Amino acid sequence: MNASSAEGLEELESLCHRICHILERENAILRRKNGLIGDGIEELEAIQSEKDAKIALLERVSRDESCVNETRSCPDKAERVRASINRCRDLQSRNHQVFSRIVSAQRKIMSILRQPDDDLQLYDRGGRGRDFGLTRRAELA
């Protein structure tokens, strides 16, 4: 096994650990107390860029011929890397679920805020509609 192939799986494992760390930071931001009102959006955008770059690098390294050869020659090491990649996937899935819940809650809030106000109807004891002077107050305003 040459030196460059020995670095392939180690680099993949190192990248997985960095991606997991990024995903943990992302999760912490998503779970903050004020997550529904957009706190941390700049951090999330920066993390997304960082995460995308690391994942693209992970994909590139994993397709490298030396890495593929090392996977065949070192199955134990390759299995450890697969476990790291699966951990990244699990963390990404978890973050996606949290993010989806936040988006869903924000959509519900926006839906409620966009609903037209119901007309206020007041009735007297006889069941007749009355405005209790609201029209008069509106004229004075």
Query: pLDDT digits over 89-116, tens only?
Result: 999 999 999 988 888 887 888 887 776 6
95 SS3 class: helix
The predicted model gives 23-40 an average pLDDT of 77
Distance of CA 39 to the CA centre of its chain: 13
Domain that holds residue 30: 3-117
75 domain-assigned: yes
Task: Encode pLDDT of 39-91 as tens digits.
Answer: 677 888 889 999 999 999 999 998 888 888 888 999 999 999 999 999 999 99
Average pLDDT value over all residues in the chain? 79
The answer to pTM > 0.85 is no
Flag whether 131 is in a domain. no
Of the candidates 141, 140, 138, 16, which has an alpha carbon nearest to the alpha carbon of residue 77?
16
Q: Determine the 3-state secondary structure of 122 from DSSP.
A: strand
Q: Give domain status of residue 29, yes or no.
A: yes
Q: Rounded to an integer, what distance in angstroms lies between the CA atom of residue 141 and that of residue 136?
A: 9
Integer Cα distance of 117 and 57 in angstroms: 52
Residue 8 is assigned to a structural domain of this protein = yes
Q: pLDDT above 70 covers what percent of the chain?
A: 72
Q: Is residue 122 part of a domain?
A: no
In the block, tokens 């995308």 appear at 52
* Count of structural domains, the chain: 1
- Residue 113: what pLDDT? 79
